[in-house]
Chain A
Amino acid sequence: MRHPLKLLALLASLPLSASAGAAELAGPEDVAPGPTIGAAPSKYRPNLRTDFTAYTRPGGRVSMGPLKFEFGPIDEVTIGTYVPPWFAFPFIGAPVPNAYIKVRSWFPGPFTLAVRGGLLFVDGKAVAELADKDASASAMGLAGEVDASYRFGEHFTLSAGLDYNHLSAVGSDEEVATSVEGASTADTWNSRLFAEWKLTKVFSLTFLVRYLISQSPISAEADTNSPAFSVNSDLSTESTGARGRWSAAPGVSFDWEHWELSIGVGYGVVPLPVFGIPTTKNWPLVDFAFAFHFDLYD
């Protein structure tokens, strides 16, 4: 018999877990509304950071990295996906499709507002592989966030964000899974503050602070039937101990014409960006991201 925590554990064990934090910190960026960074007019459109900010990639820009793939069809919209989950099938028997979309405000000026939504699906086969051979339920992660960024001059940007993540186990192909002990749901609310100080056109100092606002108990409901009786469990689980809520990660980032790299080292609660499920305890955390970007069209 399985349980919801196991499901969370397996999700946490996905290969993307190590890179996801990095992916968020290291997200490629694009042209911001309003004045560009680096005064020199050029065909190259600077790459504003998209993770933890309200910025999107400029229209026509593609960013490819080992962690994320992003494309900006128009200036105000970026779509993307985390790459590692797609290649999880050698380990868990099925790819993990995921995608997100981010839409920012259209108005010019130093203030930018954006919303972002994401979805991730773990097929029942993968759940079965990782949690239990009898399991056939699937898992769904939904993420939404609101970001606001304000540019203080050419070099300093401050962003604040609020994100919500919902993780649930759902029925597989036939809407209702045929096995697994317990559907799992968890809701998490996080807030964050992200500062970027651009010292040169290429090099920036960054600082990210996160605060876990709340994480719901994990809900588990399951029906088990045998000829003689059926058991319906409506249970919830939550941690009994004091949990960490803060994390801080100072870092650096580099933004070349076609390459972007960021790395940060910090400590605190480590969230899985795709799921938003934070660790209970504080841990050292390393964020890393690396990508190549180019313009399909201007």
Chain B
Amino acid sequence: MPPEDLDRLVERMVDGSEQSRRQFIRHLAGAGLLVGPGSAFLAACGGVKGESSGKKVSAAVHHPKVPIGDWTFSNWPLYIDKSVLKTFNKRYGGNVKYLEDINDNFEFFGKVRQQLQAHQSIGRDIVTLTDYMAARWVRDGFVTAIDHANVPNMKNLVPELQHPKYDPNRNYSLPWQSGGVGLGYDRRKTGRELTSVKDFFDPKFKGRVSFLSEPYDSAGMVMLGDGINATNATLDQIMAAIDKIEKAQKSGQIRRFTGNDYTTDLTKGNLWVAMAYSGDVVALQADNPHLEFAFPEEGSMEFTDNMMIPAKAAHPYAAETMMNYVYEPAVAAKIAAYVNYIPPVQGVKEILAAKDPKLAANPLIFPPDAVRKRLHAYPTLSPADERAMEARMAQVVGG
């Protein structure tokens, strides 16, 4: 998928404006492009031919309490209120090296793939990956099991995220934030409220529509629009949805496929309707108050980014202590207030309601039950099906 232009990055360089984390996601991937093909090539040069064993790590683990020391946390850009890290260091000792080096699930996987497949440490104690990539890591044994005794606050995890198919007991993963995919649009340009997936295909918006390049998101949304339960979709249904996207692309309806870089085009008016992530639009409203976000009536794909301890991590106890810490509702509230995504921790809304009622009333951070019911998790695909889907989508996105 084409990551991503750098305009947002450039803008930030120019005016130093604050922005939410997802806007940055693929921009840095864009920056990576400049050196990227070379570095990816070097990575490929190593020529690790190791077949992943696919074995699961044992779930019953015990990580003894040790001093926290220096440890490493990899996350997406602008995905935490950094004061949380400082407080953590103060309270538990040690020093967390916080890397904002995940800009794209696949790109990040490409970066650490060789070490993982060679059963080496990747030098990180927590990584935060989206469901489908998290599933891949669990399935291929690239993770260290979480010692639940060290994360008692896991009890605060919202019920609907407790049993994902790829990790039914949350032995290897713990949600960081969730968000929804929906219609991000400029109310002045569209001239009306948008409520349906069909609005992406409205010929009045020809050439002013962007889709997400990730098929889990875009094909998922198209299927929901066609009344298919995307969570249980078959490969054939997914392929049909991608065909439909291709048709819209060829006809000129879709102007671009994007990661998070729809944000600039949307604020500038080049795009009228973007397939968007909920948290972004909350942040963009500061730049352009006419921007709206709607969860379509047919439903929305919901993504969750998950904290995981990579295999051979050197500081699992530190990682678990952090997981436990961010599952304290007060800490989770702080993060939610900063990132504008859906917090996976119970009790956050009550805390925010006391501090900042406006934020607590924001339907994008705390979707009402009617919306929540229409949020759909990504389908669980076999590795071969997933590859087929990604390859097909790459063809469409690649022109």
Report whether chain A binds chain B.
Answer: no
